[in-house]
Amino acid sequence: MVATSQTELQKVLEKAKAYIIDMDGVIYRGDMCLPHVPEFLQALEDSGIPYLMATNNSTKSPQEFADKLQGMGIDLGPDRILTSSVATRGMVEERYPKGTGVFVVGMQALHDAMYADGYFVPAERDAKVVVSGGHFGLTYAELRTACLAIRDGADWFATNGDKTFPTEEGIIPGSGAIIAALNAATDQWPEVVGKPSTGMIDEALQSMGTTRAETIMLGDRLDTDILAGERADMPTMLVMTGVTDKRELDASDIEPDVIVDDLEPLVSFYSAGS
Ligand SMILES: [Mg+2]
């Protein structure tokens, strides 16, 4: 499989009214901004096309991601960044009234997303809702309380299903590994919000006020970004600057609508139109 032709790409871009953009592998790699990213974001701004960064990472707050981007020279408000913690909060809020007791298994960013404005209140075994996410400080006591609450009938949501988390030291347990531990103890599965589920996509669309058909899902991973877009019936765009290589792309059943080597063709398209 090769990069999409200019004509095909143009057809998709002409219909695009908004973007949901994955960050790792699309915007940056490690602490390095990827080529053409600042020009691409500027082109979207200049063309009046709204976009939202959407990440499965539940361990950092939007402000922390905004700070990270700032360090790479990308100036973006935290309101342009949707983490799976924030998306989970939005989804749970739609279903439960103010004052609902929630038990959180996760890091400060998830606690803040759930509790900061007082809509939900902290609860333990008597919680109506358990929310789990990636958690580098996980304790047995937290698993125990979550297990008891879920067994007592609490509804369980997970920010994302990623089993592992890439770090400089290597691969470490992610949110999905914590789901596996709680599943072993409860025989239950959570409702997962992050990609490839469409919960996060719906939260993103709601906040931009655009429809699925007119919003492009842009990402570097087939089994999360592109699959989420496919399930949501959105146009999907794979960029080859991240984890997917040609061999993986050829072997996969998941077929992006558009494939680009990097964001340069998008920059060209928008600068030609302005
Ligand atoms: Mg990515």
How many angstroms does the Cα of residue 188 sit away from the middle of ligand 1? 28
Ligand 1 centroid distance, CA of 267 (Å): 20
Contact 12, 272 (CB under 8 A): no
Q: Shortest CA distance to 146 belongs to which of 181, 121, 111?
A: 181
Quickly count: other Cβ atoms within 10 Å of residue 122's Cβ: 12
CB neighbours of residue 269 within 10 Å: 19
Question: What average pLDDT does this structure show over 19-36?
Answer: 94
pLDDT tens digits for 110-120?
999 999 999 99
pLDDT digits (tens, 9 = 90+) for 34-79: 999 999 999 999 999 999 999 999 999 999 999 999 999 999 999 9
Q: Judge: domain 88-192, CATH 3.40.50.1000.
A: yes
How many whole angstroms from 260 Cα to the centroid of ligand 1? 15
Per-residue burial over 55-66, b = 16 or more CB atoms within 10 Å of its CB, e = otherwise: bbbbbbbbebbb
C-alpha 37 to ligand 1 mean position (Å): 14
Ligand 1: distance of its center to the CA of 55 in Å?
8
Average pLDDT on 212-222 reads: 97
Measured in angstroms, how far is the CA atom of residue 242 from the centroid of ligand 1? Answer: 6
Ligand 1 centroid to Cα of residue 130, in Å, is 27
pLDDT tens figures, 132-163: 999 999 999 999 999 999 999 999 999 999 99
Asked if 235 and 15 count as a contact pair (C-beta separation under 8 A), the reply is: yes
Ligand 1 centroid–CA 38 distance in Å is 17
**Confidence (pLDDT) at 5:** 87
Cα 49 to averaged position of ligand 1 atoms, centre (Å): 21
Query: What is the CA(187)–ligand 1 centre distance, in A?
Result: 30
Between the CA of 201 and the centroid of ligand 1 the distance, in Å, is 15
Q: How remote is the CA of residue 221 from the centroid of ligand 1, in Å? A: 6
Percent of the chain predicted with pLDDT > 90? 92
- Residue 238 has φ and ψ, to the nearest 5°, of -100, 130
> Is 6-56+196-273 a domain of CATH 3.10.20.30?
no
Tell me the CA–centroid distance for residue 129 and ligand 1, in Å.
Answer: 29
Model confidence at 4: pLDDT above 90:
no
Contact criterion met (CB below 8 Å) for 100 and 114: no
- pLDDT number for residue 2: 64
- Expressed in angstroms and rounded, the spacing between residue 99 Cα and the centre of ligand 1 is 35
pTM (predicted TM-score)? 0.94
| 13 CA distance to ligand 1 middle (Å) | 21
Residue spans in the chain of domains classed CATH 3.40.50.1000: 6-56+196-273, 88-192
The alpha carbon of 197 and the centre of ligand 1 are apart by a number of angstroms equal to 15
Q: Cα–Cα distance between 127 and 150 in angstroms, integer?
A: 9
